[in-house]
Amino acid sequence: MRDADRPFTGRVALVTGAASGIGRAASLAFAAAGAAVLISDVDETGGIAVAAQIETGGGRALFQRADVTEEAAVAALVERIRAEFGTLDYAFNNVGFSWGHGATGLSSDDWSRTVDVCMKAPWLCMKHEVPLMRAGGGGAIVNTSSMAGVAYSPTANIAYSAAKAGVIQMTRYAANAFAADGIRVNCVSPGLTRTAAVEQFLDAEEQRELAAQTQPIGRIVDPSEIADAVMWLCSPGAAMVTGENICVSGGQQAR
């Protein structure tokens, strides 16, 4: 019987982009709920630190470096889960970044890199996660989109916005394709969130001003609040929720 305070005890979760920000918060949340967590990122130092924090707190976590835009790396990541745990219950496909600016201030390489990280990567992850989940009788996948994929965002470029919109439709497609396998697929669209990536582009005052302008609740989102949405989407409480995009954005709507 599972502890009510640790409802994911005996379960296994994979989190990509887990070395910091939203991925780190989700990794800690999965571990706090009792799941064993495989943490993946290209940032080895940060990823190892998150795994160590979980282990120090009495949880179980492993780190594996992977560039999830490369299929061989994704295949190796899922094979590590198979070898270590035998199954996969939850996957949070949480990578994204952009290069270039606006609609014309980016190169073809900027476009390709952005689309690969934001859209190709979660597709590759699902491609390899689904067979392992199917073999275990089902599971839950959450992809990270963005409010830039829902509404116009002046701080996001055209490639990032298009790719994140693509994640939403890809999630809907996958939800229908894998429903018969007992696999639910949803996505979250964070609003302006306090992450290292945001801090590269906006200082603290700019973050406050933009949040006040775009998010009616009037403040920036904390990574833990995205993690809370991910945890709910993976929980039995969301057993009839699939193909949905959950906006965690303080009320920002498509305009």
* Structure token digits, residue 87: 């199954």
Looking at residue 26, what is its pLDDT? 98
CA 118 to chain centre: 10
pTM, two decimal places: 0.93
pLDDT in tens, 91-137: 999 998 888 998 899 999 999 999 999 999 999 999 999 999 999 99
Q: How many CB atoms lie within 10 A of CB 235?
A: 15
pLDDT in tens, 69-83: 999 999 999 999 999
Q: How many CB atoms lie within 10 A of CB 83?
A: 8
Looking at residue 251, what is its pLDDT? 76
Q: How many CB atoms lie within 10 A of CB 135?
A: 13
Task: Tell me the catalytic residues.
Answer: 160
What burial class does residue 136 get, using C-beta atoms within 10 Å of its C-beta: 0-12 exposed, 13-18 middle, 19+ buried?
middle
Nearby residues of 82 by Cβ (< 8 Å), 6 or more positions away = 88, 132
pLDDT in tens, 213-250: 777 777 788 899 999 999 999 999 999 999 999 999 88
Domain ranges of the chain: 12-247
Looking at residue 41, what is its pLDDT? 97
* Structure token digits, residue 210: 């933009």
Tell me the three-class secondary structure of 207-228, residue by residue: HHHHHHHHCCCCCCECHHHHHH
CA 9 to CA 176: how far, in whole Å?
A: 28
Domain 12-247 class, CATH top level: alpha beta
pLDDT bin (cut points 50, 70, 90) of residue 176 is very high
pLDDT in tens, 31-61: 999 999 999 999 999 999 999 999 999 999 9
